[in-house]
Structures are given as C-alpha cells and as structure tokens.
Amino acid sequence: MTASETCTLQREEDGAVVADALRLANTFSTRLRGLIGRRLEPRGGLWLEPCSSIHMMFVPYAIDVVFVRRAGEPLRPGAEGEVLKVCSHVRPWIGLAWCSGATSALELRAGRADELGLRAGDRLRLGPRSAA
C-alpha cells in the first residue's frame, strides 16, 4: 500500500468499522509529518508503521492513539494486528504517547476509541483499499 491509498479498518470481534478512510504513513517522511497540517475526518485515521511512539508537536487538536502489534506480514488488505494500548485524548502541541512492543500506531479523532469501546486485546483487520 502507498500513502496515496486509503483503506478500511475493522475490529474482528464484531465487524465494527474503526476507520473507513485510513491513510498509511510508512516512510520516514510520512511518519515524521503525521498529522501536521492535516485534519482527521470523523471516521478517518492515520496508520503509522513502524511506530511505537508519537509526538503532538505542531498538531493543534487532541487525538486518540491506538498502539498495535502486528506480525511481520506486509501491510495490505487482510493484514491484522492486536491492540496493545489505547491512549485517549492525547493533548495537542505537547502530548506524547508510547507503547513498548508496539509495531504500529493508529491515530483517530479524539473520542473515537471510546465511542467504539476499543481496548487492549481487540483484533483489527485492514479492509479493501481505494484510491484517495
């Protein structure tokens, strides 16, 4: 998958859509930029990989961060991972979040993780992709 593609992300246990416009950040520059200068759609998200920590420098709004552990498989539709930690409402500008053992971080609009009831142990699966 490339940064110009979006895909869906679902919780395996119940099929709940976590994000239906998920973008990928899997290069140094796309991970470094992250959400700087970007807004998250209500059901959008940003998947950073590899990633076990995030900063909120230059991001003017709070977000939820879900840390995930994935196996070594390529990041593609059908790939799955296990939620290790959920950080709700990470503060803008000065917030930091990290998780030992995480291979990926999912950034969502503040409140989305609580709305979905995401918690450690949940399984997430990438769905079909589409051109952005």
Mean pLDDT of all residues in 121-127: 95
| pLDDT tens profile 49-107 | 999 999 999 999 999 999 999 987 777 778 899 999 999 999 999 999 999 999 999 99
Q: What class does CATH assign to 5-131? A: mainly beta
Q: In degrees, to the nearest 5, what angle opens at C-alpha 44 toward C-alphas 15 and 40?
A: 155
| Least confident segment among 1-5, 19-23, 80-84, 111-115 | 1-5
In Å, how far are 50, 68, 128 from 34, measured between CA atoms?
Answer: 13, 17, 22
Residues 6+ apart with CB under 8 A from 22: 6, 7, 8, 9, 44, 45, 46, 47, 106, 126
* pTM for this prediction: 0.92
Q: How far apart are CA 1 and CA 61, in angstroms?
A: 27
pLDDT category, 12, cuts 50, 70, 90? very high
Residue type, 20: D
CA 98 to centroid of chain Cα atoms: 13
Q: What is the mean pLDDT of the chain?
A: 91
